[in-house]
Every structure is written in structure tokens, then in C-alpha cells.
Structure 1
Amino acid sequence: MKITLKKAVLGLSLLAGLGACDVNRLPETNISDDSFWTSESDIKTANNYLYTFLPGFNNDDVWSDDAFGLAANTISDGSRLAPATASGDYNTPYSLIRAANNVIEKAPRAAVTPAVLNRYLAEARFFRAWAYFGLVQKYGSVPLILKTLDENSPELRQPGAPRETIVEQIYTDLDFAIANLPTITALGTADFGRISKTAAQAFKARAALFEGTFAKYHAKGDAAKHLTIALAASKAVIDSKEHALFGNYFDLFQLAGEGRQNKENIIVRQYGVSNTERVSTHSYYRGSLENGNVNPTKSLADSYLMKDGLPISKSPLWVLPDSSQKVFRNRDARMSATFMKRGDAMMTTKPIFDIANLVFNKTGYMFRKFANVDDWNTQNSTIDRPLLRYAEVLLIFAEANYELNGAITDAELDMSINLLRERGQIAKLTNAFAKTNGLDMREEIRRERRVELAQEGFRYWDIIRWKIAETELVKPVLGNFYFKTEFAAATVNLTPDNIILVQAASFRKFDPAKDYLWPLPINEIALNPDLDQNPGW
């Protein structure tokens, strides 16, 4: 898949997108139809282009209360304005939709069997669903385009479709994908990385959980309907037995966690297997983690449980640390795998980590996931980005179960949350344990999601769908304890209890009347007067 995709990308300039103003248009001159759409190889090549839209590494966690960068983020602190022109947030999904629609319309011309055709149509419909889910998350209502358009198409001036209509189309596309895609076992090593049946099921579960909890907590739509879909789809992935958790949490985000031998990864953005055999590369470690473009916050750090399964506010194991190393003592093992700590391998100019550099790591913490010394040296990492893991499916199963029924059994916890806790080397969660220790089961399920998926771009969307962004994002951004004998001399603001103050609450706001949806680009509204701006923008 990696080598095939590399060659396909190099030769697919004929499938490349147009400019921002042409977001929904695909002129006939973009592709030589008569000579191209004739064989399975042609369809597969066209579909390979869709895979280039899978997102690479980014710093989106700074939108949330999990991370902070080198400076304040306008989404996180509520200071952003409606953009004058469309950016990748709006244009890129429509470019993917256009490319998927093109395949859906033209692939039937090829001389292939119905089964082969449907397999590739299923891939295209998966990617169309992927793009529309991203648009719904951000904007709610957007134009629903299900065919390729030219400059005279009336759909170019159509209003945004109702949110529920778009979500139903997402489900319809994913159901077709589920029915026609091969299993990950059938794909095997040769086609590892292509979308599988369980990938479509797992993504359907993700979309349905988002929509179900958004409907429930924002009082918009049929929450039970979507949560039922999320529960069924996640259970289908579990029952397939196609996936399992990877043994080592840190290695899951290293080269050791790549490829078919890792049954936890369901969808990945592939980069390659080495610097000589690669699709592309990234410099996420040196360019984002070490340089401070994304740093963990105290809010995230405090979410990690002690080994006894209790939060730091309740556990007798928690002792106020007098050194940076003691922050990690008796904690969930995933914290040490996600945060840099004294003794970890770091980089050539500083082989062993001791303490974060406050010039770059403003919170006094530094992320460790995906950190690799060789990657720092070359700035050409081929570590893949996991986009959907089996761990997320287990979390969806637990959350959808609880949100739908108001309860979850110990057996259901054992087949989901407790598998993740076992890997984190912390005590099991049971209903009796929660009751005895005064824990809220919903909050513990949410906590588990936060720590398991930390630094993977989920937290912002979680606090949006749970409708708690208005509570969490207005809090001050805090960092590590300030260990004066360890940190290099730097100008730093501190709270009265000796915690690094990164951004005061007075500089942060969140308007629940408008900030739960993103503003549409102003130029898109100018191009299409029937497109309404989201409320408050």
C-alpha cells in the first residue's frame, strides 16, 4: 500500500483540486475520462488520491484545555473572528468530497465485476462520509453535495442542508462501505492501510457518539437514536475479533507499533517504513513537541489516576511533589508514556531529559508520545499517525452504553474500560468501587477517554459535544509545579500555591451562544448568498 500510494500520488496531478472559489466544481478537463476509467487499476489509482486527505500530525489539542503552545490560541481563549476567506478547514473537506463524488460517478465505466466495483465505491463513500463528519463537527449545517458540479450547477448556490440530513447521509455512505469493504484480515499485509469493514464500522460509531451526545447535551435532535447506532457499531467491531489492544502503550506511537502486527490501529495516516521507503515524512517531534508548539497542561496532568484507581483529590497515594520526578510517582503508566520525565531519551544535543525548557514548553511539561531521538536528528520521521484505534472503539462502547441507559454493568466495564486500565496498570473500575469512593461513573468514563486519547486531537471535540467548553475553556491555563532548583532561570508567573500560570482566566472567554459552532468563511457567504452564517458570528 505504501509504495503503491507513493507512485499514485506522484502521478495524480490530473486529480488535484482547484482553488477556494471552485470548492464544489470539477470541470471535464480535469481528467481524461475516455482513457482513464477503464480498469480496476484506474479506479484504485483514483481512490489512492483519497487517502492523501487523511490528516497528518497537527497541534489541534491547543484548542482545548489539554494543551498550550508558544502563545495563546484564539479558538481556546475565545478571541477568534470569522475568517475573511476559506481555509483548509472548509475547503479541504469539499475537495475530498469532490474527489469522492468523481469516483462514485465514473468508476462504473470500468470493465470490472460488481463486487470489485462496489469495493472501490465503498472506499469513496467512506471518504465522503469522513469529510462531511468533519464539516458537521465544525459548522453544523453546510451544503450537501452528492455529485460533481460545473460552473453552471444550481447546487453552487444552495443553502446548507439540515444537520440531521447530512448525518443521515453519513450513515448511508458508511452502511454501504460496511457492506462492501473487505475485512482487515482479508486486506492482509499487502493492502494494510486501506479502509476495511471494521474501519467503516468504527468510524460510524465515532460519528454516532458525537451526534448522540451533542443532541443530548445541546438538546438538539434524537439522542437515543444516535447513541443506539454508536453502541451497535462499536459492539460490531468488538464482536468481529479483528482487533485487539497493543501490548505497550508507548511503543504504540513508535515504529514498533506500525504495520499489520499491531491489531489496535484501525485507520492510520501512513508515512513509510524508513527514510528510503516512504510515502512522506513529518517532523512532529522536533517541530511541535520539542519546540513547544503543543505542551500538556496541569488540567490534563491532574486527570491521570493514581495506581489505586482514585484521582489525586481522593487517593492516599498522592503526595504533593517536591521534585518533577515525583509528579509521576504511583500514577497511571500512560502518564509516563505521554509526558516527558527525568531519564527519558530526548535528542542529540540533550540525550537525556531532565526538565522542560520554559522558553519553549510554557507549561513546564513536554509531551512524549511520538518522541524519537532519530526523528529529532533527521526531521524526517516515518512514524505513522493513528487516526482511529481499537481503544477508541472500547471507549465509545462504554460511553454510548452509559449515556443511553444511565448505567453500565461491571461486565461491560470489563470488556471496555478495564482493558485500558489494565494496560495503564491501575485498579479496575466497578460500580461498587465508584459508589464506595464517591466517584461519578460518567465522569470516570470521560476521564478514561481523556487520558487514553491524550495528544491525539479528541479533547476539544469532546468538550464541545458534552457542552462543557463554556466551563472548561474559561479556566486559567496552568502548568507544572515550579521546581525552582530544577527549572532554568526564566521569567514565569506563578499562582500562590507555586504552580506555573500560563494564561490567566481574565484573558479567556467562551460564548455558548456562538462558540459551539465555527464561523463560516465570509467569502463563502458572499459567493453563495443562500448560505447562512452561524448564529452570533
Structure 2
Amino acid sequence: MKSFIKHITLGVAVLVGVTACDVNRLPETNISDETFWRSETDLKSAANYLYTFLPPFAIPGGNSTEDVWSDDAVGLASNNISDGSRLAPATDANNYNTPYQLIRAANNIIEKAPRATGAGQTAIDRYIAEARFFRAWAYFSLVQKFGDVPLILKTLDDTSPELMAPAAPRTEIYAQIYQDLDFAATKLPTPTALGAADYGRISTTAALAFKARVALFEGTRAKFHKYGDANAHLTLAVNAAKAVMDSKLHDLFANYFGMFQYEGEGRQNRENILVKQYGVSTTERVLTHPYFRSSLENGNVSPTKSLADSYLLKDGLPITKSPLYKTPVVSLDVFANRDERMSATFMKRGDAYMGTKPVFDIAPLVFNKSGFTFRKYSNIDDWTTQASTMDRIILRYGEVLLTYAEAKYELEGQISDADLDISINLLRNRAKIARLTNAFTTENGLDMREELRRERRVELAQEGFRYWDLIRWKTAEIELPKPVLGNFFFKDEFGTATTVNLTPENFILVQNASFRKFDPEKDYLWPLPINEISLNGNLKQNPKW
């Protein structure tokens, strides 16, 4: 299932020249050898390098820590994004330079692939399509954070005037992203055609699913921040998501927790659309990660009360409305009669844990400051080896269903029960909670938009979406300045060895509201690195930074 990952090393070796410090330049001495760009094998080897840019698991100090930027999770210490204390950086390799390195590598393949006449036009188009997918991926990463950025669509040398070009408006960048993804969707193989041997490569449904993600982000951001043509983007989101749904190439994996375990890997899990692959086995590691031990068990990413409270009871009602909800007396009570995704996402007493403590009882507060521990991707054997080969899910069908429902609602101001049944209710059925209908929301005084957003939050918890959802909905200014709370303090279970700050209601107080802020005049865009502005006088800093 993971055969192609072993060949990425060749692609890295071939394209190693494109990782120089300069963001925009690609010297023509790199990959200009006429003997290389000839065959389909050459194209595939070159494209393999692009896959190394797929986001890894969150690691301490790494760049995949979106969960702790939000109100879903907290780390061992506060971070300067969620608490509003950051300053414009001198450099930002992870968030600014790395995407441009990927763009440069993609542009290089797009330009040189046509030389491989021995490969045939179908193969040439396929690997150009892979490169255009990754170029779109990189530009979305940039515009999502920084807004307007330089749009570079060719390889540059030291004399290229584009080196001093001003930032392109976000409308132009999104237009290019959509063009790239449309090309990819028409030229890439289907997941069925990729089969087991090429599982992990970009497929036509990956291009469509990613287009749906991009269009939902910009459509809702434009709507709630009041700029641009929100409906144009939302229409693209609906159509792209529906195209994936109508393809019948994907469906939901039966076991939600199992989806984030080894049993959920490979072609047999039709929910997976794109994953970041790790090693084949413990003996053929190639690439591994210590996510469970270094991030979850060690408390670098721990869930909050805010996230916990989002999970419905089995009757489909929130804890503030359901007669099934009872104030917990012991820690297991938190999970009683709840959406099954909560037990799959949060550790609870009796779950398999780690080598030195095989069965979980309660979160150690010295590490898990909130009194909660995340469970997705946990594996006791991986904890021991600290070398997991479990893949990270990047795109999955569950997200596509959520995108369809939200985009449909925001576009039309309503959503039919029929559309709920082909999207949200498939997820709720797997979670074993009551079906969502328009009558149900009316009868119980619920708001459909809020229920759609809740569904997204719990379905995609611990997968890095929440911060960006708060940004596009323009609710970060409301949610992020709130205090960070954790679990009920169950004294008999937590003990008294660790000093804990508590609220009057007996919740763990992780961070007081006085230490948190979000400035809506500046924090919805990230600051450009100061050194990039110094290098290019036509590049302007984002407002208020």
C-alpha cells in the first residue's frame, strides 16, 4: 500500500537544488540536464519531491500546530497566535518561504515536463497536473494566512523582474488556484485507476475535494468579512463537493476511531482521499513520526472544555438542552450518552494508553494541562517505538460532506432535509446520534448554521481546521479572547499533587481571559516577514502590523 513512498528519495535527490534559501529564484543550472527530462519515470521521480511538502503531524516547535492556535486545544505553554501576543517576524521559513519553495519546484516541473516526449502526452499531462495541484496547495496556504502575496508562475533567475513584483490581489491568486485545480481534476487518474500500487498519489477526486475546501474558505470569508463575490466561491464549493459525492468513488469508513489507526490505511478505506504517507513498516521505515508520544501524551496538544462541550448527546441535543445530560461525578460520566466521536477523540478511563501505563485512567495534569488527552492516532506500540508509520489524513470524504452542507446553506440561506441526508446525517449516523432536520432544529430552538458548524467542529476535531474556521467565520475575535478551560476537577481521580487553578464551577482554568486577546483590525491576516519586505520594496506589510 505504501510502495511509492520508498521512491520519494530519488525525487528529492533530483530536485535538491530547488531548496536554496532564496524564495523566488531557481537557477537554470538546477535540473537543466537534457538527459533527465525524457521518460515517464523521470517525471514521476521529479513529482515525488512535491509530496515531501504535504503537512506532517504536529510536533513541538513544528509548523502543524493549528489546533492549539484555536479554542479546541492547548499546549504545555501558551502560544503567541491564540493569545494575540505575536510580533511581525524577521523571517518565517515554515509559513512563507517553504510554500514558495514548493511553488518553485512545481513551476519547474510544469515548464520542463513537456520535454519528456518519450513519456507520451497523457503522462506529461498527469505529472503537470500533480505539479499544478501542489502549486495550488502552496498558494492557498499563503493567501489563507497573508492575503495578497506575489504570484509567481514561472521559474526565475537573478534578473527576473518578477523578483520585485508587488503582491497580487487575492482574487487573482484564487483564480489561478481554481485554474490549476480544474486542470488537475481533468488530467489526473481516479483513485480506482491509481489502485494499491499508486495509493497516496494525487487523484482527480483529491483535486476536486481540495477545490471544495478552498472555495468554502474564501466564500465564507468573503461573506462574513464583507468583500468580493462570496456566492461565486460558494457555488464552486457546492459543485466541487457534489462532484466528489456523485463520483461514487468514496464513502465513509465504518469505524470512526479505526479510521485514525492502521486499520484505516490504504485503499480499503474509501474515505481517505489524500494522506501523507509514512514508512511501510517498522523494518522499512523510510519516514516516521512520534506524534502520539511527543504531542498527545506529552501534552503539547490537549483538548479543551470548549471542544468537549460541543459534542451532542445521543438525542441530538447539546448539553444545555438535553435531558440526557447529567453533571459528571466521575470522569467517565463526561462521556455518558454522548456522540461516539467524543470517545474516539478523547481518552477515557479504560482506553489503551502507553507502554508504561497500558490502561488510561485520568489525564496527568503535569502534562495535559486541561485534564483531557486527545486519542486520535494513539497507538500503544507506536508510543514504545516512537517511530510510527501511521499515515496522516490530509483530505477525506467526511470533510467533503461537511463542505457540501455548509456551502449549500450559506449560498441559499437554507438547506433541505434531502441535502442533510446525503451529507451531515451520514456522519451523524456513524456517530449514533439523532438525525438533523429542519423540523428538529425548529422544535428544539436550535440554529441550523450553528448545528452545521458544530458538526464540522466535532467531526474534524484534532485535524487542524478549527482556527481557520474561526478566521473565515469572523468569530475569532469572539472565541479566542475567552478563558481556556479544561475538564471538571475530579479530586479523587486527579489527586492533589499538582497545583491547579479552578473556576467557581470546579473546571480547570488553564489560561485566564486577561492573558488572551485578538485584534480584529490586524489578526485576521498574518504579518509578512520583515526581511521579505526589505528584499522587495514593492511588498507592503499587512494592516496594523
Give 5+ residue unaligned stretches, structure 2: 59-64
User: What does residue 73 of structure 1 align with?
Assistant: 79
1:528 aligned to 522, 529, 536, which one?
A: 536
Query: Residues of 1 paired with 2:19 and 2:122: CA distance?
Result: 35
More divergent stretch after superposition (52-61 vs 356-365):
52-61
- Structure 1 runs not aligned, ≥5 long: none
Is the aligned partner of 1:337 residue 2:374?
Answer: no
Match of 1:514 among 505, 513, 522: 522
Measure how far apart 1:18 and its partner are. 5.4
Matched to 1:449, the amino acid is R
1:159 match: 166
The corresponding residue for 1:407 is 414
Structure 2 residue matching 1:529: 3-state secondary structure = coil
Say yes or no: does 1:173 pair with 2:180: yes
User: 1:13 — aligned with what?
Assistant: 13
- TM-score (norm. length: structure 1): 0.99
* Aligned pairs for 1:188-337 within 5 A: 188-337=195-344
1:146 aligned counterpart, secondary structure: coil
Classify 1:533/1:19 alpha carbon distance in 2 versus 1 (closer, same or farther; 3 Å). farther
CA contact (8 A) 1:2 1:278 kept: no
Amino acid at match of 2:69: W
What is the CA-CA distance between 1:16 and the residue it aligns to?
A: 2.2
Alpha-carbon deviations, 1:15-70, whole Å to 9, x = none? 12556751111112222421210111101100000011101101320000000000
Matched position secondary structure for 1:346: strand
- SS of residue in 2 equivalent to 1:388: strand
**Aligned amino acid, residue 499 of structure 1:** F
SS of alignment partner, residue 5 of structure 1: helix
1:365 aligns to 2:372 (yes or no):
yes
Q: What residue number does 2:493 align with?
A: 486
CA distance in 2, matches of 1:4, 1:178: 21
Quote the offset at 1:6 in angstroms.
2.3
Which residue matches 1:4?
4
- Within a 5 Å distance, the mapping from 1:308-457 to structure 2 comes to 308-457=315-464
1:86 aligns with 2:69: no
Distance (whole Å) between structure 2 residues aligned to residue 482 and residue 375 of structure 1 = 30
The residue type paired with residue 315 of structure 1 is S
Q: CA deviation at 1:152?
A: 1.3
Task: Read off the aligned partner of 2:115 and give its amino acid letter.
Answer: R
Report the alpha carbon displacement of residue 294 of structure 1 after superposing the two structures with TM: 0.3
Deviates more, 1:407-416 or 1:30-39: 30-39
Answer yes or no: is the 8 Å Cα contact 2:75–2:299 preserved in 1.
yes
The amino acid across from 2:462 in the alignment is Q
On the 8 A contact 1:275/1:382 being kept in 2, the answer is yes
Q: Is the 8 A contact 1:136 1:142 kept in 2?
A: yes
Q: Which amino acid aligns with 2:120?
A: T
Alignment check: 8 A CA contact 1:481 1:500 kept: yes
Q: What is residue 121 of structure 1 aligned with on the other side?
A: 128
Q: Give secondary structure in 2 for the equivalent of 1:480.
A: strand
Asked if the contact 1:211–1:223 (Cα under 8 Å) also holds between the matched residues in 2, the reply is yes
CA deviations on 1:371-402 (whole Å, 9 max, x unpaired) are: 00000000000110000110000000000000
Amino acid at match of 2:533: I
Alpha-carbon separation, structure 2, partners of 1:397 and 1:485 = 45
Query: CA–CA distance in 2 between the matches of 1:176 and 1:274?
Result: 35
Which deviates the most, 158-167 or 277-286? 277-286
- Aligned partner of residue 55 in structure 2, secondary structure: coil
The range that moved more, 247-256 or 25-34, is 25-34
Question: C-alpha separation between the residues in 2 aligned to 1:387 and 1:3?
Answer: 19
The runs of at least 4 aligned residues of structure 1 exceeding 3 Å deviation read 1-5, 17-21
> 2:470–2:476: 8 Å Cα contact kept in structure 1?
yes
1:474 pairs with 2:481? yes
Secondary structure of 1:500's counterpart equals strand
Residues 292 and 360, structure 1, Cα contact 8 Å, conserved in 2 = yes
Quick check: 1:17–1:95 contact (8 Å CA) kept in 2? no
Greater mean deviation of Cα atoms: 482-491 or 457-466? 482-491
Once the two structures are superposed, residues 322-369 of structure 1 have per-residue CA deviations (whole angstroms, 9 ceiling, x without a partner) of: 110100000000000000000000011111000000000000000000
Shift of 1:10: 4.7
- Secondary structure at the counterpart of residue 82 of structure 1: coil
Asked whether the 8 Å contact 2:50–2:134 carries over to 1, the reply is yes
Aligned-residue identity in percent: 72
Give the aligned residue type for 2:206.
Answer: A
**Where do 1:34-73 residues align within 5 Å?**
34-58=34-58, 59-73=65-79
Match of 1:391, SS state, is helix
Query: For residue 534 of structure 1, what is the amino acid of its counterpart?
Result: N
SS in 1 for 2:275: strand
SS at match of 2:154: coil
On the 8 A contact 1:3/1:278 being kept in 2, the answer is no
Separation in 2 of the partners of 1:352 and 1:483? 18
- Partners of 2:7 and 2:48 within 8 A in 1: no
Deviates more, 1:206-215 or 1:30-39: 30-39
1-structure distance, mates of 2:428, 2:11: 46
Cα-to-partner distance string for 1:415-437 (whole Å, 9 max, x where unaligned): 00000001111000000000000
Matched residue count? 537
- Tell me the TM-score normalized by structure 2: 0.97
* Equivalent AA in structure 2 for residue 329 of structure 1: A
1:126-185 residue CA offsets vs partner (Å, 9 max, x unmatched): 010000000010001100000001111111111110000000000000010011111111
Distance in 2 (CA, whole Å) between partners of 1:68 and 1:419 is 30
SS where residue 358 of structure 2 aligns? strand
Counterpart CA distance in 1 for 2:224 and 2:20 is 34
Q: Does 1:105 align with 2:111?
A: yes
Q: Distance in 1 between matches of 2:111 and 2:460?
A: 37
CA positional deviation for 1:108: 0.4
Equivalent position of 2:510 in the other structure: 502
Q: Give distance in 2, aligned partners of 1:21 and 1:143.
A: 17
Q: Partners of 1:262 and 1:2 in 2: how far apart?
A: 14
* Partners of 1:7 and 1:122 in 2: CA distance: 19
Q: Aligned equivalents of 1:330 and 1:395: distance in 2?
A: 23
Match of 2:494, SS?
coil
1:264-316, CA deviations, whole angstroms, 9 ceiling, x for partnerless residues? 00010000331123331000000000000000000000000000000000000
Q: Could you tell me which amino acid in structure 2 is paired with residue 40 of structure 1? A: E
